[in-house]
Amino acid sequence: MSAQATQPAAGKMTGMSKETSKETQKQTPKGAWTVTFLLFLFMLVNFADKIVVGLAGVPIMTELKLEPEQFGLLGSSFFFLFSISAIVVGFIVNKVPTRWVLLTLAVIWALTQFPMVGTVSFTTLLICRIVLGAGEGPAASVAMHAIYKWFPDEKRTMPTAILSQGSAFGVILAVPALNWIIVNHSWHYAFGALGIVGLIWVAAWLALGKEGPLDTHASAVIEPKIPYLQLLTSRTFIGCVTATFGAYWALSLGLTWFTPFIVKGLGFSQSQAGFVSILPWVFGATIVILTGWISQVMLARGYTSRISRGVLGSVPLIVGGLILAMMPHVQGAGLQIALLVVGSGLCGAIYVVCPPMLGEFTPTSQRGAVLAIYGALYTLSGIIAPLVMGSVIQRAGSMLDGYMTGFTINAAIMVGSGALGLLLLWPNTEKARLTGGAAPQAAPLKSAVSPT
C-alpha cells in the first residue's frame, strides 16, 4: 500500500524535475552578453589585423617594389601556420580554460604589429604575417567554443551571428581609420595603431573576461565520446568544410586583393578605395545578422536544422557565385563593384550556420577540437586564393583582365562548394546516426547542450 502510495509521488517529482530542467535550459547565464560583446571586439581586432595588408597593398608594393606574385605570396603567408595552429590549440582548449587561451592569442597579435612601425624589409613583413597567422588561426573556433559555454543550443545561432559580425565591423570601422593613417601618415603607422588596439583589448579581457558555466553542467552529463574519425568523416562535417572553403576563398581575396583591384584595376584613388572597400563588409554584415535571426526563428517554429541551418547557409553561397560570375560580362566600374559586393557578401550566411550544426552532434568534451579542425581545413583556401589571383594577374594580357579571370575562378568555386554543402548538410540526422538513434543518459541540464 505504501509502495503504491509513493509511486505516484515519485512520478510527480520526476515530472517536476523535468520541468525544472527544461526551464533551466532556456535561461541564459548572467554575464553571457558581456562576454559575447568582448568576443565580438576580439573578432573585430582579428579582422582589422587581417585586412591591413590588403588595404595598404598599393603603398606596400610601391615601397618594397613587389610584383603581383610576391604580393600574393605575402597575402598567403598569413595562412602558412594558420591551420596547424588552429588544430593544436583546438585540442588544448578541450583541457585549458578558453579565457587564458584567448588572452594569449591577443597578446601575440599585438606584438607582431610593432616591427612594421619602422623601416621593414619584405622578409620581415613576411615573417611577421606568418607569426600573426599562427596567432589568429585558432581565434574563431576558440571564441565560438567560449560562446557555446554561455548559451544552450537553441540559443546559439544569434550569438554566433554577433560573433561573426566582429569580422565585418572589424573592416567597416577599421578601414576608414587605417586608410586615413595610410594616406596622411604612412602604412607603417597603421600597423602600430593595430598593435595598440590589441593591447587595449587584452586589458579589457583581463578585467571582464570569464569562463562560461555551461561546461560545468555538461560535465554532469553521461555523454560518451565519439571517435574523431567518425566525427571528421561525417557528411555534415565534410559539407561544412567544403561549403565554407568556397566562402573563405572569396573572403581571403577580399582581404588581400579587393583594395588593389579598386586602385589598380578600376583606377580609383587610395582615399576613394578606403570608402569602397567597406561596401562588401557592410552588405555581408547585413546577411550575417539576417541569417542568424531567420535561422533562430525557423528553429523556434519547428523547422529541422537541415532546413533552418543547412539549406539556409548553402543557397546564398550558390547565388553569390552566380552573381560574381557576371562581373566580366558587364561594363562600368560601378556595376562591377555592385556585383562583387553582393556576390561575395552572400557568402556570410555559411559562417553563421556551420558551427552550430557541428555543435549539434559533437560531444561537448570534443567540440573545441572539432571546431578547430573545421576552421583549419576551410581556411586552407586562404593559402591558395591570394597566390592564384597574383599568378593570374601577372600572366594576364592586362591587369583588369587578370582580376576578372581571378574573380571568375572564385565564382566557380563558390557555386561548386555551395552545391556540395546543399547535398551534405544534414545535422539532425547526423546526430541520430552517430549516437545510434538513442539519446544519451543525462543528468539535469543535459538538454542545455543538446540540439532542438
pLDDT digits (tens, 9 = 90+) for 331-365: 999 999 999 999 999 998 999 899 999 989 998 88
Stretch 252-264: mean pLDDT: 89
pLDDT at 278 (0 to 100): 84
pLDDT at 215 (0 to 100): 60
pLDDT exceeds 80 at position 288: yes
pLDDT at 47 (0 to 100): 84
Distance, CA of 57 to CA of 179 (rounded, Å)? 11
pLDDT exceeds 70 at position 125: yes
**CATH code (residue 141):** 1.20.1250.20
State the number of CA atoms in the 13 A half-sphere of 383 facing the CB. 15
- Tell me how far apart the 2 most distant CA atoms of the chain are, in Å: 94
* Sequence-distant (≥ 6) Cβ neighbours of residue 150 within 8 angstroms: 28, 29, 31, 32, 35, 36, 159, 212, 213, 214
> Within a domain: residue 239?
yes
pLDDT at 437 (0 to 100): 52
**How many domains, the chain?**
1
Distance, CA of 226 to CA of 236 (rounded, Å)? 15
Q: Which residue has the higher pLDDT, 411 or 33?
A: 411
> Within a domain: residue 21?
no
Closest CA to 151 of 227, 226, 39: 39
> Within a domain: residue 75?
yes
What's the domain range around 227?
Answer: 31-210+223-434
Q: Confirm if 355 and 144 have CB atoms less than 8 A apart.
A: yes
Q: Confirm if 200 and 330 have CB atoms less than 8 A apart.
A: no
Span 389-398, pLDDT tens digits: 999 999 998 8
The pLDDT-based confidence of 73 (bands split at 50, 70, 90) is very high
* Percent of the chain clearing pLDDT 90 (strictly above): 52
> Within a domain: residue 392?
yes
pLDDT at 194 (0 to 100): 94
> Within a domain: residue 5?
no
pLDDT exceeds 80 at position 10: no
pLDDT exceeds 70 at position 410: yes
Q: Which of 86-90, 238-242, 404-408 has the lowest mean pLDDT?
A: 86-90
Distance, CA of 423 to CA of 417 (rounded, Å)? 10
pLDDT at 23 (0 to 100): 41
pLDDT at 222 (0 to 100): 58
pLDDT at 83 (0 to 100): 86
Closest CA to 430 of 352, 354, 349: 354
pLDDT at 439 (0 to 100): 40
* Sequence-distant (≥ 6) Cβ neighbours of residue 297 within 8 angstroms: none
Distance, CA of 214 to CA of 210 (rounded, Å)? 12
Cell reading at 102: 584567448
Q: Confirm if 62 and 182 have CB atoms less than 8 A apart.
A: no
Span 152-203, pLDDT tens digits: 877 887 888 788 777 777 778 888 889 899 999 999 999 999 999 999 999 9
Stretch 276-291: mean pLDDT: 87
Stretch 197-214: mean pLDDT: 91
pLDDT at 219 (0 to 100): 45
Contacts within 8 Å (CB) and 24+ apart, 213-217: 213/29, 213/149, 213/150, 214/29, 214/148, 214/149, 214/150, 214/151, 214/152, 214/448, 214/449, 215/149, 215/364, 217/443, 217/444, 217/445, 217/446, 217/448, 217/449
Distances (CA, A) of 132 to 84, 106, 191: 13, 10, 12
pLDDT exceeds 90 at position 319: yes
pLDDT exceeds 70 at position 208: yes
Helices (H), 346-426: 348-361, 364-378, 381-395, 399-424
* Sequence-distant (≥ 6) Cβ neighbours of residue 266 within 8 angstroms: 333, 336, 337, 400
pLDDT exceeds 90 at position 275: no
Tell me how many degrees the CA angle 271-273-274 measures, rounded to the nearest 5: 70
> Within a domain: residue 138?
yes
pLDDT at 422 (0 to 100): 96
Cell reading at 345: 557578401
Q: What is the DSSP letter of 398?
A: S
pLDDT exceeds 70 at position 1: no
Distance, CA of 262 to CA of 65 (rounded, Å)? 19
Span 32-64, pLDDT tens digits: 889 999 999 999 998 888 888 988 988 999 999
pLDDT exceeds 70 at position 8: no
> Within a domain: residue 375?
yes
Rg of the chain taking only CA atoms, in angstroms: 23
Q: How many residues does the chain have?
A: 452
> Within a domain: residue 306?
yes
